[in-house]
Amino acid sequence: MATEINRDDFLGISFSHHMEILNKTKDIDTVLFYIHETVMHRWDKYTLRDKLKLKIHETQKGIPNNFVQTIPSSRQALQAVKMFKDEYLLDYINLEDIDAADEDDVDERVVENTIVRNVKRFMMKFGKDFAYVGNQYDLEVFGEEQRSDLLFFNRQLNCLVAIELKTGKFKTAYLGQLYGYLQVLDDQVRKPHENPSIGIILCRRANRAFVEYAIRDYTKPMGVATYKTLGDMPEAFREALPDEDDLKKLL
């Protein structure tokens, strides 16, 4: 059991924090979850107590996010946590040039255009109650033009969902870019009856612990997910899939 404990996390919280956790948890995995979250988000004892009451460990094991900290309604925050997965398989995307070139130089529009052509399949991957609003959505403010890659509306969450596509590894700069988009969406696009907009960065790779560290102080609800394409699937799986033309004939 001791080998599973991160020493820095364990020593990073007070005795009072440890007592709160031990009194309200039943297994080592849940203990480690709350120790880590307390350190990452710098919760005081009373905030930790609220999180324990909400049982966020039951829902906050998916996408790295700051939903609980930034969405005023606890119910909506937990709905948002459940809504998004930490990884998506976009098996209709076959981007061999991504692997053949420097990922930072690949035009993200290739991914975006493929998703737009398959927008119904993309929404089904994300879950129910999503409505497509547009791509390269114009967010001009003070004469500065910005464009959100993909914009959806989720009926269950009653909010706009902006998705930024990245073909490489997660970078902290992406959070600042998405934060700016969410500011404009909430100020100029969101309707009075709608909840604050949510932003999702969809990239090829991400270090979960680093994302949690980088995202914690942002005040807009954001999350970071990764995706795999057809080329990322094991060769045995890809060979088992029918040829695209054959599949179209079957359909």
- Greater confidence, 176 or 248? 176
Q: Is the pLDDT of residue 239 over 90?
A: no
CA 60 to centroid of chain Cα atoms: 11
Q: Is the pLDDT of residue 153 over 90?
A: yes
Give residue-wise pLDDT tens across range 83-103.
888 888 776 665 554 444 445
Q: What is the pLDDT of residue 105?
A: 45
Q: Is the pLDDT of residue 187 over 60?
A: yes
Percentage of residues in the chain having pLDDT higher than 90? 39
Picking from 158, 136, 135, the residue whose alpha carbon sits closest to that of residue 146 is: 136
| pLDDT-based confidence at residue 198 (cuts at 50, 70, 90) | very high
Q: What is the pLDDT of residue 1?
A: 54
Tokens of 26: 């039943």
**CA atoms of 185 and 192, how far apart (whole Å):** 12
Structural domains of the chain ordered from first start: 2-58 (no CATH), 87-250 (3.40.1350.10)
- Greater confidence, 106 or 180? 180
Give residue-wise pLDDT tens across range 40-89.
778 899 989 988 887 777 655 578 999 988 998 877 887 888 788 888 87
Q: What is the pTM of this model?
A: 0.66
Burial 193-218 (b: 16+ CB within 10 A, else e): eebbbbbbbbbbebeeeebbebbeeb
**CA atoms of 36 and 5, how far apart (whole Å):** 10
